[in-house]
Structure 1
Amino acid sequence: MKEIEKMQAGLEYCYDDEDISMMKLHAIENANIFNSLPEDDLDKQHEVLCEILGSVGEKVWIAKRFCFDNGKNIHIGNNFTGNFNLTILDINKVCIGDNVMIGPNTTITAVGHPLSPKGRRKHLAQGGEVRIGNDVWLGANVTVLPGVTIGNNVVVGAGAVVTKDIPDNSLAVGVPARVVKKIENDI
């Protein structure tokens, strides 16, 4: 099995494999294209996002600098706001629902590395799908780790590190993020 096939299957793979390196280089080129577009040309921004990402809904706005590993594994619903310096490491699927707001300097990563130094020296990585529900607000400087599902109507406070699933209708804060209260779903 090729390393890129292992990656796509969610298995442990070598991240400096030639095919994977080319995929990342292509993603960097696509990110540079998007990031070079005029801020006021929303139609062109949407057109480019539709070309470089897996799927994109309506009323999607992402501020500059937007960075990603692949692009095609990112799926964004309708009415999305991604603030400045959004990084989505989409080695695996990252699915974002409708009516989602993401604060500046947020990182969503669908890839992790081994705890063992032997594995890290071999440049191993493994992906884990990330799912973000509808009506979610991730505050500034939030980090979402691989394999996490964030439910619907969730607020994650600024600076939180989401290491495990967050249920619907929750406010989660801290490092690691933990639910501190239930919030009303008023829709």
Structure 2
Amino acid sequence: MTEKEKMIIGLPYMASDRVLQKARLVAQRACFRYNQIDPKHHKERKALIRGLFNSTEALFCVEQPFYCDYGFNITIGNNFFSNYHLTILDCAPVTIGENVMFGPNVAIYTAGHPIHYETRNTGLEYALPVNIGNNVWIGGNTVINPNVNIGENSIIGSGSVVTKDIPPNVIAVGNPCKVLREITEDDKRYYYKNRLI
């Protein structure tokens, strides 16, 4: 089994593997080119992302700058929007549903390192997937750690560090991120706190 195959299925692997180094360089160069494109050239920007990601739908916007490890492990659904400075360490699959919005400085980390320093110092790594359901809003400066699932329709408050699964239809915030409350039908009446639409 190759180091790439181990990486993608969640087994320990060596990130120093030459094949993985070359794949990261391809992604780094693609991100560099993407981040240099004049923002008015929407078609060029979309074409580059389509070539980098595993899968995209028709409608999406990834604001510059954007960074990722590989790109080939990222799948985004229709009507995806990410604000400035999105970073996705996609050593394992990152699957993002439809109608998902990210604030600025969102970071998704699938990669991790062993706890014991002797094992960590060998260069051994692991990667576990991240799944984000439909209609999710991730607030700015949020970090999503490996092996996390965020349920559909949920909101993650700004500055959160998501270390465990978040159920659907909730507002969750904090470090570590915890459920604050459920989203209800009454929430349709307000655009911000107690301000009526």
Give yes or no for TM over 0.5.
yes
Tell me the CA shift for residue 84 of structure 1. Answer: 0.7
For residues 64-101 of structure 1, give each alpha carbon's deviation from its aligned partner in whole angstroms, at most 9, with x where no partner exists.
11000110110011111111110001001000001111
Letter in 2 for 1:90: D
Residue number in structure 2 paired with 1:28 = 28
For residues 105-162 of structure 1, give each alpha carbon's deviation from its aligned partner in whole angstroms, at most 9, with x where no partner exists.
1100111111110121011111111000011111010000111000101100011000
In the TM superposition, 1:1-187 aligns within 5 A as 1-184=1-184
TM-score norm. by structure 1 comes to: 0.95
Question: Please, which moves more after superposition, 164-173 or 15-24?
Answer: 15-24
Structure 2 CA distance for aligned equivalents of residues 166 and 78 of structure 1: 22
Question: Please, which moves more after superposition, 141-150 or 57-66?
Answer: 57-66
Letter in 1 for 2:147: G
Contact between 2:3 and 2:13, CA under 8 Å: does it hold in 1? Answer: yes
TM-score norm. by structure 2 comes to: 0.91
Letter in 1 for 2:76: I
Q: Which has the larger radius of gyration?
A: 2
Structure 1 CA distance for aligned equivalents of residues 17 and 105 of structure 2: 28
Question: Please, which moves more after superposition, 6-15 or 67-76?
Answer: 6-15
Tell me the CA shift for residue 8 of structure 1. Answer: 2.5
Contact between 2:8 and 2:93, CA under 8 Å: does it hold in 1? Answer: no
Tell me the CA shift for residue 34 of structure 1. Answer: 1.4
1:122 partner SS: coil
Letter in 1 for 2:58: E
1:92 partner SS: coil
Tell me the CA shift for residue 42 of structure 1. Answer: 1.5
Letter in 2 for 1:2: T
For residues 21-58 of structure 1, give each alpha carbon's deviation from its aligned partner in whole angstroms, at most 9, with x where no partner exists.
11111110111121121111212211111111101112
Tell me the CA shift for residue 16 of structure 1. Answer: 1.6
Contact between 2:148 and 2:163, CA under 8 Å: does it hold in 1? Answer: yes
Structure 2 CA distance for aligned equivalents of residues 66 and 21 of structure 1: 19
Letter in 1 for 2:64: K
Contact between 2:78 and 2:99, CA under 8 Å: does it hold in 1? Answer: yes
Gapped regions of structure 2 (runs ≥ 5): 189-197
2:34 partner SS: helix
Tell me the CA shift for residue 9 of structure 1. Answer: 2.6
Structure 1 CA distance for aligned equivalents of residues 3 and 94 of structure 2: 20
